[in-house]
Structure 1
Amino acid sequence: MTRADFDSPTPSKAIIGVNLPSGGRGKFLLFTVFLLISTAALLLVEKAADHAGYRSIVSGTQMLFFGSSDSEEEDTADDAQPCRIPQLDPWDPSIRSYVKKPKAFSCKNPPPLTTLQSPPIPNASLSLPTADAYVSPAPPASFEPPTLHRPPLPPRPLIKINASLESQYGARKDGVLKCCAGAVKRGRVVSVDDKRADGSYRFEKCQYFNGTAKVESDFTLVECKRGKKKVYTDMHSTVIPTKAALEKIEAARKGPLPPSILLLGLDSSSRLNIHRTAPKMIHALNEVGAVEMNAYNKVGDNTLPNLLPILAGVSLPDANDVISKDRKQVYGKGCWPHNKYVFDKCPFIWRNFSEKGYVTMFGEDEPGISIFNYHKLGFREQPTDHYLRPFYVVAEKRLQKTTRDKATWCYANKDTFTRLMEYLWSFVDTYARRVPFFTLMFITGISHENPSDIELADARLADLVRHAVEASEGGESEDGGLFLAVFSDHGSRWGSLRESPFGWLEERLPFLFIRPPHASSSLAYQTSAAPRSHPVLLANGNRLTSPFDFHETLSALLHGSEDRPGGSSCADCFDLLSEMVPENRTCNDAAIPEKWCACAKEEKSSVDNGTASRGVSLAVEHLNGVIQGDGRCSLLSVGHVISTTLRSLPTTKSGKRLKFFVAVFSTVPSDAIFEVTIFVKDGGVLQVSPEISRLNAYGNDSWCVDDPYKKLYCYCI
């Protein structure tokens, strides 16, 4: 599928597809007139639809809203179903002009001098190394031989020098090429008060080698010299089972495997954007039986408040709540008071999976802006069995970088996306069908600044989806299987796309595809006429869902749907695989704050200029309250009001609606563009939502502050 597959047919395309009978000039003229009239009619209908509200390419979906209605019947339908989220055409004309085609990119030549290769197997009849080859701990005297067969572990790869490239790395006259390899590991935790552990690392001694070198750790630094001149520095990553992982592998041989969990995240991509940029990946997801959540709504502004609910079941406000202000029992309340604390006390679900015998891994690129480390302290103790952060921390310091649009696209001679994918691929190949695993790989660099760049990785993402399922379910065993979720945290939060007519929907509706273990092929395409597997998940695909439902689904995989513990920040959220989400659900039910709710309906009436001006003035007062007292930041004043839109939200299942207006305005001297939600209370009292979105990047405007909240608003003097 290409971009053209999403484009509406043009008249020229229609004419090309016509087969006319021979000798039919009159018929041709009649046909041409008919075609022109039909085209004009279609354009008028399209223009009317654009004027009224929203256009859609989705039919038969219960979550559709096509715009304001004059009929009482449609108003009644709104009452019966409080939330109807617009399902827009990803290539709608109103959006298309804001979408940019990504520019091709490649790292500099020459290719890397060293690569990872599997060692040769001397005799094909010999079995591959078992866990004993990784120095598995000696079993106790009472140890019973395993009764279940599991595939042997793959052999450790070797670092190999490509002799054909040696001439491209320094001149022979400078000396003989000498290379050494040394393990890179996370630094040791100094004390319980250590706040630098997540940025620390240590090097093992760099051992010189000829031809090939053994890999002793997940991460290896390679350096080559000619004489005293360093001509090559690179890093390699591959998964080497830890002692704890080997023990889990041995334990897994005593019973059937539970399903493994693979969560693949892409930063800053809306549901519409992923349909524009990753048709190959979506096709692969459909092939393996994934179902798209068409009404998946974010619950917070940026990445952290949308990932904490998935991984810990706790909202960011609850995590910040040191002293409980109510009697609501939330597991994890107050676990991360503010950015001077580590995240170790938060109840991340990967710990629960680890306790149940899962091998765990967490990885992301772009260490400077990573989820738990951007103006934060990260983790004191390593959070998972395998942890990718040390690799990227060292790469940032030791390898030559190539950047594009503020993101690092290459370390040395290999693109960063490939490096991340190689580690994830290695993790899957090492543990699939041997032990249950839980992994979260969150990809930031390729999409954070320009979500359209995902297109450059589309084919490789599709390959990963197919490989992960095949590796996990391709054997003879019927147990195990793979739960696969591919998702995003939010859509574009700033830039031209966010400022487009439907930018507010782009931001609020990230994508989520869920693939149950052992799902039948093309589950997403099954119809009522075909045998339906996973009917609950299929129905939930068209119901309002949030990251808290995502968490409940993971929790049910671990504990069972009926036995999963409660206590998350959403008291009424669901296991999407086995519990039907109510059709008349509201954002409040799904723990989606009013500001971020995409169920909003545009009202016909307008906001008078006086009310809009008062609301924007209150918003600027709030912004100045955030930065007031910090002498580094200039106080702001209103530039001009760009737009105001009156909207309403369903607040109850009876159809009662809450009215508010959204104002987009600029400020001086920063020339920043903000969007604010303003609620009109009884008596005309205006209440400003404290979460004011910035729609253009702050760039270097906020260089003088490091508080992530202040950075959105501060204009450094």
Structure 2
Amino acid sequence: MSRSKIQILFSIICLILAAVLLIINISTYNTVTQVFKKNVCYPQVVNNTDENEHAKLSNPGCVLPEIDPFDPVILPYIFNASFHCEQSTELTVISSDNRLVIQIPDDIDEDIDCYYSWVYRNGSDSSVSYGPVQVIPPTDGVQFGNDANVVNTSCIDQKTKQVIYRNVHFHVPTFKQVPLTNNDLHPSVIILVVESLSRLSYQRFMPAINQAMHDIGNFQHLKGLNRVEENSFPNSMALLAGRTITDEVASYYSGITWDHQLPYIWDTFKNSGYVTSFLEDQPMLGLFSFYSRGFRDPPVDFYPVEYWVHMYPNGTGNLFDNWDNPLRYCFEKAGSKLELFLTMCSKFAEDVINRQQKPYFLYAFHSQMTHDDFNNFQMVDQPVADFLHSLSPSVLNNSIVIFMGDHGPRMGRWVKPWGDQIETPYARVEGSLPFFAIRIPDSLDSKYPHLRKYLSLNEDRLTSWYDIHQILLDTAQGLFKPVGTRTKIPVAYSLFREEIPISRTCEDANISQDYCACNGRVGVNPTIRYWPIYAAKGLVHELQTIFQENNCGSNVTFDKILSGEYFYPRSNESWSTYERANFSIQVKPSQAVITAMVHRSKDANDYRWSPWKFHDPTNKLDSTEYTKYLTKLLCVDHVLENVNVTIV
């Protein structure tokens, strides 16, 4: 048979198949499922991996992006940030023998009376009570007892009767612990978390911390760490408890307290003889109180939430002002709340390891300054660098030190005319890649030198908070020898005891596809973000245009996003001038599910983007036959059951 006859026969077959499908579609609207994909008649679905120059198809695992922290797309949102807290001379201090005493400098001539009242945690993480106000004896001061670790102080000028000084103090009590387990080493652990710190924000804003880590030495960065869920709570639960608890699940339990609800890592440390501490600078809006009611009883040995609740007398009443107003970053004239927080961290570590000669586990979470604006990392930089430099040799030589974020930026200022930086594909990638640095102490390295070796091997591998949990679990149990050969793929690897396979995927690591940043794309969470809705509505508008061109007047409208992902720019594109995404959406009134790739672009010198359009690189939507069939299938005014259409 000649080639021309074969082509004619092929075309006839296509027309017959198209007619059959059209008849089925007309007669069985409520049962048909249609998928536009590569076949003998209709255009091929664009294979997402074919569009992706970042993915290495020979590698079934994860290739993570190298992104410029100063890419042009983010530059309009970066500005200098600073603040200053007024500080006065301390008139009340804690002495070396844990007494509250008055300390009047020689240059103060006024007659001053100073008062104190004990501050107590009032049965929850958001309420405090106060003891009676009493005069501080000018000679002996006041001894801290076993029932109170926080004290509120004030001083009054006797002549004017005006309050001239206020402060709040804490002390670290002596802890009674269970005997240490028989492990040969019990390294302490410091984990300092700064809310929303991404790897890119660290590169942009934290040169002082970077220098401090270099000065101290042996900090190792996990560049392949990928968050597992959207915000602080689920990511922290993966680290602290090794459990998957989504935001949706957590929000269902708004009335509960979290006492003994999960296998918290601090309980494992406590059972091994460690002194434990969990510190938050805003406990009334903390990890466990944001959705629920926090803890009824203190979950750890050192849990001075009353110190921090006292600083916020209005509770959550001035929520955004507390986050955004630099004046709220200061407490009275005692300095910045961040510096007070870091002082609490260092005093706990130094006291327990030096005075009490015990190992400790400290999880410290700071959120106020960086929750809403990533520029504020500039203000965190020097205080944290000073904190790291302040750690004594005994602490550094016997403690695993971790500095990290929980996820990247999730909140951002609305900056006109560009919009909100955290709603862009670039920011979605940044949000999925938190910063993480860890230092193995010399005392541990000298006996187990493979720990740093494995961390080095895993620096660029895909990792998650479940892996960090495994490191902590091993440390609490004294497990430091290399892991043997595995017969099954685990969810969590011990990053300092074994090598992560290069073939590891987000699915292997229990990382939701909504947040996976591997292989040139990153997912979206359609239930939280608004930005994808604009792209999805652009997809619907494109459909409406096709329907109008084919004389169909059905009112097809956007219903909801089912799933989606953004693509990284290719070599001839940039984050700031081109965006491409793939969405599965549901439309009304038909309830049909439509999957399509859309894109938009803009000139580098203009903030205005073009409308979202179908991504159709081979102009297949120019086919009249294709668009007519699409119109016939979807341009209806009634429900279509089980209709799934993939366009282009």
Q: Same fold (TM over 0.5)?
A: yes
Q: Offset of 1:260 from its aligned partner?
A: 0.2
**Counterpart amino acid of 1:114?**
L
C-alpha distance 505-233 of structure 1, shift in aligned 2 (>3 A): same
C-alpha distance 86-254 of structure 1, shift in aligned 2 (>3 A): closer
Taking the TM superposition and a 5 Å limit, the aligned residue runs for 1:436-455 are 436-455=359-378
Q: Distance in 1 between matches of 2:426 and 2:51?
A: 22
Q: Offset of 1:183 from its aligned partner?
A: 2.6
**Counterpart amino acid of 1:363?**
L
Q: Offset of 1:269 from its aligned partner?
A: 1.6
Q: Offset of 1:179 from its aligned partner?
A: 0.7
Q: Give the structure 2 partner of residue 410 of structure 1.
A: 330
Taking the TM superposition and a 5 Å limit, the aligned residue runs for 1:552-563 are 552-559=470-477, 560=479
TM-score, length-scaled by structure 1: 0.60
Q: Give the structure 2 partner of residue 462 of structure 1.
A: 385
C-alpha distance 415-663 of structure 1, shift in aligned 2 (>3 A): farther
Q: Give the structure 2 partner of residue 301 of structure 1.
A: 230
Residue 340 (structure 1) aligned with residue 245 (structure 2): no
Q: Offset of 1:204 from its aligned partner?
A: 5.8
- State the Cα deviation string for residues 396-435 of structure 1 (Å, max 9, x = none): 2299x99561573111112111111111111011012510
C-alpha distance 390-455 of structure 1, shift in aligned 2 (>3 A): same
- State the Cα deviation string for residues 300-333 of structure 1 (Å, max 9, x = none): 1111111111111111149949xxxxxxxxxxxx
C-alpha distance 379-612 of structure 1, shift in aligned 2 (>3 A): farther
C-alpha distance 612-291 of structure 1, shift in aligned 2 (>3 A): farther
The size of the alignment, in residue pairs, is 484
Give the conservation status (yes or no) of the 8 Å contact 1:270–1:506.
yes
Q: Offset of 1:572 from its aligned partner?
A: 1.8
Q: Residue 222 of structure 1: which of 148, 153, 174 is its match?
A: 153
**Counterpart amino acid of 1:448?**
H
Give the conservation status (yes or no) of the 8 Å contact 1:362–1:386.
yes
Q: Give the structure 1 partner of residue 430 of structure 2.
A: 506
**Counterpart amino acid of 1:684?**
N
Q: Residue 364 of structure 1: which of 280, 287, 299 is its match?
A: 280
Give the conservation status (yes or no) of the 8 Å contact 1:365–1:392.
yes
Q: Residue 91 of structure 2: which of 114, 118, 121 is its match?
A: 114
Q: Residue 496 of structure 2: which of 552, 556, 577 is its match?
A: 577
Give the conservation status (yes or no) of the 8 Å contact 1:262–1:440.
yes
**Taking every aligned residue pair, what percent have the same amino acid on both sides?**
23
Q: Give the structure 2 partner of residue 619 of structure 1.
A: 560
Q: Distance in 1 between matches of 2:504 and 2:493?
A: 12
Q: Give the structure 2 partner of residue 609 of structure 1.
A: 539
Give the conservation status (yes or no) of the 8 Å contact 2:226–2:516.
yes
Give the conservation status (yes or no) of the 8 Å contact 1:221–1:235.
yes
Give the conservation status (yes or no) of the 8 Å contact 1:288–1:469.
no
Q: Distance in 2 between matches of 1:372 and 1:426?
A: 24
Q: Distance in 1 between matches of 2:511 and 2:183?
A: 40
Give the conservation status (yes or no) of the 8 Å contact 1:237–1:423.
no
Q: Give the structure 1 partner of residue 239 of structure 2.
A: 310
Q: Distance in 1 between matches of 2:451 and 2:241?
A: 29
Q: Offset of 1:446 from its aligned partner?
A: 1.9
Q: Give the structure 2 partner of residue 186 of structure 1.
A: 121
Q: Give the structure 1 partner of residue 171 of structure 2.
A: 239
C-alpha distance 71-178 of structure 1, shift in aligned 2 (>3 A): closer
Q: Distance in 1 between matches of 2:52 and 2:64?
A: 19
Q: Give the structure 1 partner of residue 15 of structure 2.
A: none
Q: Distance in 2 between matches of 1:312 and 1:71?
A: 36
Taking the TM superposition and a 5 Å limit, the aligned residue runs for 1:54-69 are none
Q: Distance in 2 between matches of 1:318 and 1:396?
A: 26
**Counterpart amino acid of 1:162?**
I
Q: Offset of 1:206 from its aligned partner?
A: 2.9
* SS at 1:236 equivalent: strand
C-alpha distance 507-533 of structure 1, shift in aligned 2 (>3 A): closer
Give the conservation status (yes or no) of the 8 Å contact 1:238–1:427.
no
Q: Distance in 2 between matches of 1:411 and 1:296?
A: 35
RMSD: 4.1
Give the conservation status (yes or no) of the 8 Å contact 2:228–2:235.
yes
Q: Give the structure 2 partner of residue 540 of structure 1.
A: 458
5+ long unaligned stretches in structure 2: 1-47, 413-419, 484-488, 523-534, 545-555, 564-576, 584-594, 601-611, 613-641
Q: Distance in 2 between matches of 1:71 and 1:353?
A: 45
Q: Distance in 2 between matches of 1:444 and 1:92?
A: 26
Q: Offset of 1:223 from its aligned partner?
A: 2.0
Residue 279 (structure 1) aligned with residue 207 (structure 2): yes
Q: Give the structure 1 partner of residue 344 of structure 2.
A: 423
Give the conservation status (yes or no) of the 8 Å contact 2:117–2:130.
no
C-alpha distance 660-540 of structure 1, shift in aligned 2 (>3 A): farther
Q: Distance in 2 between matches of 1:609 and 1:320?
A: 31
**Counterpart amino acid of 1:357?**
G
Give the conservation status (yes or no) of the 8 Å contact 2:170–2:307.
no
Q: Give the structure 1 partner of residue 44 of structure 2.
A: none
Q: Give the structure 2 partner of residue 684 of structure 1.
A: 644
Q: Residue 98 of structure 2: which of 146, 156, 166 is its match?
A: 156
- State the Cα deviation string for residues 421-467 of structure 1 (Å, max 9, x = none): 11111101101251010001111112112222222232221232233
Q: Offset of 1:504 from its aligned partner?
A: 1.0
Q: Distance in 1 between matches of 2:281 and 2:543?
A: 43
Q: Give the structure 2 partner of residue 85 of structure 1.
A: 64
* SS at 1:387 equivalent: coil
C-alpha distance 166-376 of structure 1, shift in aligned 2 (>3 A): farther
* SS at 2:77 equivalent: coil
Q: Offset of 1:253 from its aligned partner?
A: 12
Q: Which structure is larger by alpha-carbon Rg, 1 or 2?
A: 2
* SS at 1:452 equivalent: helix
**Counterpart amino acid of 2:644?**
G
Give the conservation status (yes or no) of the 8 Å contact 1:309–1:547.
yes
Q: Offset of 1:386 from its aligned partner?
A: 0.8
Q: Offset of 1:263 from its aligned partner?
A: 0.5
- State the Cα deviation string for residues 467-496 of structure 1 (Å, max 9, x = none): 33623245xxxxxx2111111111111333
My pick for the range that moved more, 606-615 or 374-383, is 606-615
Q: Distance in 2 between matches of 1:233 and 1:683?
A: 70
Give the conservation status (yes or no) of the 8 Å contact 2:450–2:496.
no
5+ long unaligned stretches in structure 1: 1-66, 120-154, 190-195, 322-335, 475-480, 522-530, 565-569, 623-641, 649-658, 665-674, 676-681, 687-717
Q: Give the structure 2 partner of residue 98 of structure 1.
A: 77
**Counterpart amino acid of 1:377?**
R
Give the conservation status (yes or no) of the 8 Å contact 2:471–2:496.
yes
Give the conservation status (yes or no) of the 8 Å contact 2:189–2:400.
yes
Give the conservation status (yes or no) of the 8 Å contact 1:556–1:563.
no
Q: Give the structure 2 partner of residue 646 of structure 1.
A: 581
TM-score, length-scaled by structure 2: 0.66
Residue 351 (structure 1) aligned with residue 261 (structure 2): no
- State the Cα deviation string for residues 653-693 of structure 1 (Å, max 9, x = none): xxxxxx986899xxxxxxxxxx9xxxxxx96358xxxxxxx
C-alpha distance 313-99 of structure 1, shift in aligned 2 (>3 A): same
Q: Distance in 2 between matches of 1:548 and 1:264?
A: 17
Q: Distance in 1 between matches of 2:76 and 2:222?
A: 26
Q: Offset of 1:343 from its aligned partner?
A: 0.8
Q: Offset of 1:212 from its aligned partner?
A: 6.5
Q: Distance in 1 between matches of 2:206 and 2:303?
A: 27
Residue 518 (structure 1) aligned with residue 442 (structure 2): yes
Give the conservation status (yes or no) of the 8 Å contact 2:114–2:136.
yes
Q: Give the structure 2 partner of residue 177 of structure 1.
A: 112
**Counterpart amino acid of 1:376?**
S
